Amino acid sequence: MTDFVLEHAIVVPCEGRREVIDPGSVLVLDGRIAAVGTVAEIDGHPATAHVERLDLSGHLLIPGLHNTHLHSGLLRGTAENLALWEWLEQHVDPAHRALTPEIAEAASWMAYTEGLRSGTTSVLDMWRFMEGSARAAEQIGIRATLAPYTADRYGWFDTLETNRRLLETHRSVANGRIRAWVGLEHMFYCSPEMFRGAAALAEEFDVGVHTHSSETVWEVEESVRQHGKRPIEMFADWGILDGRAVIAHGVWLDETEVGICANRHTAVTHCPCSNMKLSSGAAPVRDYRAAGVTVGLGTDGEKENNNLDMIEELKFGALLAKLSTADPAAGDPWDLLEMATKDGAVALGIDDVTGTLEVGKDADLVAVDLRGVHCVPLFRSTGPAPSDANAVAHLVFSASGRDVTDVWVQGRRLVDRGEVVSVDVQAVAAQAQGAAEELFERRRALGEPVAGPATRLGKTS
Ligand SMILES: [Zn+2]
């Protein structure tokens, strides 16, 4: 069923006006949004009488959330209490060495199922052996942009050759829902030649590039020491910002780098939870947005978050903004919500079909139940004091992904009253548990970790 009306909700279109429609309805025809308006307006639409209706009283209805930096993975809760570079060397790289295509695929089934359940309708996933990730996304029904972890300075990553093969088969499949991009792990894992090769590959296939950068102070200093320039300046020199690019983290960009990102339409994905957990720093997101940089929101992986709940991430982002600027006006709930919806879609280059609740876009919709005791009192914008309306504040500060009841992607209902219906969740979890056990056994058999960038480059602080 892709023709239906969702009615009596607090509708949050996120198209830029920062207003809710309450009570509102959304009419979906043929998987696309055909009308958005008050209940009375949509009741008056000629198509409404002929389609199924779903009452969403007490629910927010928001655009699907775009998680613009994710890693599928199976290290949850086992890689704790370390800073980024030591953590990569001791936990993450050894897991990469032990990874197999089968284990990698099980991780993607798990990650996409978890994300979808909590309101994520679109992921930018950097992972390995991503043909398996595509299979998972295809069945689960989520949108996925697949950017492999490629690197040439360590032998165990994907390569530009495997990335090319992924592009040949998955550049755009499943009605555009699943797309392949070019991925690069990080400057210290990849040679300058690889960066140039990645830029050429992205241009050849007309796709975006996704990589990590400027997550810690040390890597910026090391880039200056090695190249005489900061990371984003090097990216510009190497050509990876010539087309569409999304930089994960970007915590420590200076004014010149912010200018480069704004001028070249390079987006930054803010990962507040990961940045706090790994003690990386607080990205001055308000300044980036004010300078015209598109900023998306990401959970990062299961090992640095430790869940993939984008609604929780809204809260972390808001709180980190308030703390790091010492300004309680920073981190407004609308800022975070826009980053996770409209701006995330812009970052991914799919804002023509998703990201807001507007007529003509695909019906990527999330219903969030605000009737829980943790969302009392709820004041409506149509109540006696509209200035007390608090539904959007509740979404960001009181709710979590567990309050998501229903999720649609391209009009297909993938979560139905709290249950993921496109896949057997228990089977996915059992498969991921088995894959994780195998991964850890394989990792143990490999023995001691191999020296990563921190050791090789003599990181001392
Ligand atoms: Zn990452």
Query: How far is ligand 1, taken at its centre, from the CA of residue 303, in Å?
Result: 10
- Give yes or no for residue 460 having a pLDDT over 90: no
Cα(38)–Cα(56) distance, integer angstroms = 13
Strand partners for 412: 409
Q: How would CATH label the architecture of 65-348?
A: Alpha-Beta Barrel (3.20)
Residues with CB under 5 A from ligand 1 (ion): 300
Measured in Å, residue 45 CA sits from the centre of ligand 1 at 45
pLDDT at 1: 58
Give residue 174 CA to ligand 1 midpoint distance, Å. Answer: 26
What is each CA distance from 415 to 113, 272, 367, 369, in whole angstroms? Answer: 10, 27, 10, 13
For CA atoms 390, 393, 398, 403, give the dihedral sign: positive
> Average pLDDT of 173-196?
97
Q: pLDDT digit string (tens) for 110-128?
A: 999 999 999 999 999 999 9
Residue type, 68: T
CA 172 to chain centre: 19
Residue 323: pLDDT band (50, 70, 90) is very high
Q: Output the CA 33–ligand 1 centroid distance in Å.
A: 33
Count Cβ atoms below 10 Å from residue 321 Cβ, excluding itself: 24
Average pLDDT (7-23) is 96
The alpha carbon of 447 and the centre of ligand 1 are apart by a number of angstroms equal to: 25
In the reported structure, the alpha carbon of residue 69 is separated from the centroid of ligand 1 by a whole-number distance in angstroms of 6
Q: pLDDT tens digits for 194-212?
A: 999 999 999 999 999 999 9
Boundaries of every domain in the chain: 4-63+354-420, 65-348
Strand runs (DSSP E) across 281-410, as ranges? 295-297, 365-369, 404-409
- Could you tell me the distance, in angstroms and rounded to a whole number, from the CA of residue 126 to the centre of ligand 1? 7
Structure-block tokens of residue 188 = 């210290």
Helix (H) or strand (E) holding 184: strand 182-184
Q: How far is the CA of 342 from the centre of ligand 1 (A)?
A: 21
What is residue 86's predicted lDDT score, i.e. its pLDDT? 87
Kindly state the average pLDDT of the residues 302-323.
Answer: 97
pLDDT beyond 80 at 156: yes
Angle at the Cα of 215 from the Cα atoms of 219 and 273, rounded to 5 degrees: 155
Q: From CA 339, how far away is CA 356, in angstroms rounded?
A: 11
The per-residue pLDDT of the chain, averaged, comes to 96
Amino acid code (one letter) for 129: F
C-alpha 216 to ligand 1 mean position (Å): 13
Tell the residue number behind the tokens 């994710």, with chain if given. Answer: 70
| CA distance between the termini of the chain | 57
pLDDT the model gives residue 338: 98
Q: How confident is the model at residue 278 (pLDDT cuts 50, 70, 90)?
A: very high
Task: Give the percent of the chain with pLDDT over 70.
Answer: 100
**Cα 82 to middle of ligand 1, angstroms:** 15
Residue 16: which of 358, 367, 448, 444 has the closest Cα?
Answer: 358
* CA–centroid distance, residue 112 to ligand 1 (Å): 16
pLDDT mean over 260-284: 97
The beta-carbon contacts of 258-266 under 8 Å, at least 24 apart in sequence, are 258/287, 258/288, 258/291, 258/293, 259/291, 260/232, 260/233, 260/236, 261/232, 261/288, 261/291, 261/293, 262/291, 262/292, 262/293, 264/236, 265/294, 266/232, 266/235, 266/241, 266/293
Mean pLDDT, residues 168-184 taken together: 97
Q: Which CATH class is domain 4-63+354-420?
A: mainly beta
439: enclosing H helix or E strand:
helix 425-445
Ligand 1 centroid, distance to 28 Cα (angstroms): 35
pLDDT, residue 56, reads 98
pLDDT of residue 51: 96
* Per-residue model confidence (pLDDT) at position 384: 79
Has residue 263 got a pLDDT over 70?
Answer: yes
- Residue 300 CA, ligand 1 centroid: distance in Å: 5
Do residues 328 and 300 lie in contact, with contact meaning Cβ atoms separated by under 8 Å? no
How many angstroms is it from 271 CA to the middle of ligand 1?
A: 9
Structure tokens that stand for 157 in this block: 């990553």
Split at pLDDT 50, 70, 90, the class of 451 is: confident
DSSP summary character for residue 372: S
Residue 193 Cα to ligand 1 middle (Å) = 22
- pLDDT of the residue at 124: 98
Overall average pLDDT of the 151-155 stretch: 93
From the CA of 301, how far away is ligand 1's center (Å)?
6
Average pLDDT over residues 339-361: 98
Instruction: Enter the tokens of residue 259.
Output: 């200018």
Beta bridge pairs of residue 23: none
